[in-house]
Amino acid sequence: MFIKKGSRGPEVKKIQEKLGLVADGVFGAITEKKVKEWQRDNGLKPDGLIGKKTWAAMFPPEVIEIPPSDFALEKLVGHIPNEVLAQIPDTAKKFNITTPLRLAHFLAQCGHESGNWRAVSENLNYSSRALKSIFGKYFPGNLNESYARQPEKIASRVYGGRMGNGEEETGEGWKFRGRGYIQLTGKNNYSKFDSFVDDDILGNPDLVAEKYPLMSAAFFFDSNNLWSTCDQGDSVETVRKVTRRVNGGYHGLEDRISKFKKYWSLLK
């Protein structure tokens, strides 16, 4: 990690919030000045640069209590976010994560699909060119140009009239867009997942991203009988098979393999 003047993004927003600044996500001169002041006050070199040392001082790791579990989850501390660790015990009980091998495969796929646990909602902010490339059949002629960079309109069209969603004009394609670490998509899937939790998922689908990102991913694994594939072992070929079922291909395979090996070495 190395954040400095000119950097942009959610990490910059987090720093600005910490410093009491307007969190616009742009590391400008005012942010740099405040960073230097904070570093000076906390015994650090006041260079205005956010490296590992300054970040760790600003945001020390939380001490968390891990709920009782059949797995040695404490070994995963520092390797996956604390909020993910806290979700594992209940998720495992509900959706048949009964062995460390299953958990390692599951976490590897979730970690990759969510961009290292950052993405919990589908990004549909596509350019006109990307719409043609990815969703070409839904945008004949030059229709893509009138939808570009409008996520709600894009989702309503692409997901409308299928997966249990109403037609485009109902907006249900947007309402039930992909959420969770392995994106739960479509009203039919939201309805099925709703039966496993106490909250009203159909009435408040954002809960999939906010409260159940891991559990909804385990629902996907369980519903698609992926555990039987996970049970085949810890080989690269098994990771390939799981990836194929999750991704429909082998996109990001090397990262998925790397993550599996790391989690498996910690859990076995």
Let me know whether 33 and 153 are in one domain: no
Buried b (16+ CB within 10 A) or exposed e, 136-168: eebbeeeebeebbeebebbbbbbbbbeeebeeb
Let me know whether 134 and 174 are in one domain: yes
Residue type, 57: A
Let me know whether 193 and 81 are in one domain: no
Let me know whether 136 and 181 are in one domain: yes
Let me know whether 199 and 137 are in one domain: yes
What 3-state class would DSSP assign to 184?
strand
Within-domain flag for 148 = yes
Among 58, 96, 136, which residue's Cα sits nearest to residue 225? 96
Let me know whether 94 and 53 are in one domain: no
What is the number of helices (H) and of strands (E) in the chain? 14, 0
Within-domain flag for 109 = yes
| 205, 223, 258 - which closes a domain | 205
Within-domain flag for 4 = no
Structural domain count, the chain: 3
Helix ranges, 136-251 (H): 151-158, 172-175, 187-194, 207-210, 213-223, 227-230, 236-247
Distances (CA, A) of 61 to 83, 116, 117: 12, 17, 16
The interaxial angle of helices 187-194 and 213-223, nearest 10 deg, is 100
Q: Whole domain around residue 19: which residue ranges? A: 10-58
| 205, 231, 247 - which closes a domain | 205
Predicted pLDDT of residue 64: 55
Within-domain flag for 64 = no
For residues 37 and 172, what is the distance between their CA atoms, to the nearest angstrom? 48
For residues 211 and 164, what is the distance between their CA atoms, to the nearest angstrom? 23
- Tell me: the pLDDT tens digits for 220-243? 999 999 999 999 999 999 999 999
CB 16 within 8 A of CB 23: yes
Within-domain flag for 5 = no
Calculate mean pLDDT across residues 69-91.
90
Within-domain flag for 110 = yes
Let me know whether 230 and 106 are in one domain: yes
Mean pLDDT of the chain: 93
Within-domain flag for 40 = yes
Within-domain flag for 2 = no
What are the tokens at 164? 């249990």
Let me know whether 143 and 176 are in one domain: yes
Predicted pLDDT of residue 119: 92
Let me know whether 200 and 261 are in one domain: no
Let me know whether 151 and 20 are in one domain: no
- Tell me: the pLDDT tens digits for 142-194? 999 999 999 999 999 999 999 999 999 999 999 999 999 999 999 999 999 99
